[in-house]
Amino acid sequence: MTHERDRNRFSVFRGPLLLLLTAAIWGVAFVAQSVGMDYVGAFTFNAARFLIGAVVLLPVIFLLPAGHNNGAKRESQAARRTLIRGGIACGVFLCAASNFQQFGIKYTTVGKAGFITACYIIIVPVIGLFLKKPCSPFLWLAVAMATAGMYLLCIKDGFSIGRGDFLVLICSVLFSAHILVIDHFSPLADGVRLSCIQFLTAGLLSLVPALLFEHPSAAALTEAKVPILYAGVMSCGVAYTLQIIGQKGMNPTVASLILSLESCISVLAGWLILGQAMSLRELTGCVVMFAAIILAQLPHG
């Protein structure tokens, strides 16, 4: 009886703990992305990380039960076409968003990049308004707060925004579109295989400009092996799998709130690992933006 009670208690905390670990992995990944730019170009880094991520997910696909997301044991030809079409569509948006983010990180700090990227949590419900999807009544207050937080975090003297901050803001808009595409296809296809195809697509699309413009060398990739492997294995492969397991049976609002902690962790990681300190004004902007993120996820009704 005691063992059963302990098992039930652990199962209650397992999901949140796994999602917290996922957020930590993603937050530290901003450091890996920043360090990786010291050795290879943005396209090269993303091509390598996504192709590694696709390879890492292959054993997960074989280990998880077939059709674990949609309950289908046998997949029809139409379902396979939907899976491939969805994976490619997700991969196109993931490629665009990630490369804007990677170029942006080159010109801004890890912490700022993390918080600006997290704006997708607010942008998604705003886009949803135009798609006639219901949203929280706190949304417009959250948008106003996020705008104020963005101003404190990014706007410099002379009312100008830094190049890196602007590129990461574009990345956040593209990640919002990526989330909506996933929202459309995820109920129709197996999540792990969908992610594997999107990583493969994003990796191959990034590889083309990498070969054309950056001419990656084996020596440079070897120098960047630690950040690339972290971003590919941990951020893409491990964290995605943990997210699938952790979100099972959890309230999606609570899950997204825990995952949004990656923005806070990116600030801590940038400070502890890279020594990237923030000014009081920038930290205030982070606090205001995180409050906006929480508001945007409150249930509507």
44 within some domain:
no
- What local confidence, expressed as pLDDT, does residue 129 receive? 73
Q: What percent of the chain has pLDDT over 70?
A: 84
Decide if pLDDT at 159 tops 70. Answer: no
Among 27-36, 41-50, 143-152, 292-301, the range scoring the smallest mean pLDDT is 292-301
- What local confidence, expressed as pLDDT, does residue 91 receive? 93
251 within some domain:
yes
Decide if pLDDT at 35 tops 90. Answer: yes
More confident: 155 or 216? 216
More confident: 246 or 41? 41
- What local confidence, expressed as pLDDT, does residue 292 receive? 81
Has this prediction a pTM greater than 0.85? no
Residue 13: pLDDT band by 50, 70, 90 thresholds? confident
42 within some domain:
no
CB 174 within 8 A of CB 93: yes
- What local confidence, expressed as pLDDT, does residue 220 receive? 93
Residue 234: pLDDT band by 50, 70, 90 thresholds? very high
Decide if pLDDT at 170 tops 90. Answer: yes
- What local confidence, expressed as pLDDT, does residue 287 receive? 86
Residue 249: pLDDT band by 50, 70, 90 thresholds? low
CB 203 within 8 A of CB 55: no
156 within some domain:
yes
Q: What is the mean pLDDT of the chain?
A: 82
SS (HEC) of 178-245: HHHHHHHHHHHCCHHHHHHHHHHHHHHHHHHHHHHHHCCCHHHHHHCHHHHHHHHHHHHHHHHHHHHH
Decide if pLDDT at 261 tops 70. Answer: yes
Among 91-100, 123-132, 215-224, the range scoring the smallest mean pLDDT is 123-132
Among 67-76, 92-101, 150-159, 200-209, the range scoring the smallest mean pLDDT is 67-76
Residue 102: pLDDT band by 50, 70, 90 thresholds? very high
The Cα diameter of the chain in Å comes to: 67
Domain tally, the chain: 1
First to last CA, the chain: 40
170 within some domain:
yes
62 within some domain:
no
Note down the domain range covering 228.
69-296
More confident: 54 or 299? 54
Radius of gyration of the chain from its Cα atoms, rounded to whole angstroms: 19
14 within some domain:
no
Amino acid at position 35, single letter: V
Residue 301: pLDDT band by 50, 70, 90 thresholds? low
33 within some domain:
no
Among 178-182, 250-254, 262-266, the range scoring the smallest mean pLDDT is 250-254
Number of residues written out for the chain: 301
Decide if pLDDT at 182 tops 50. Answer: yes
Residue 166, burial from CB neighbour count under 10 angstroms (0-12, 13-18, 19+): middle
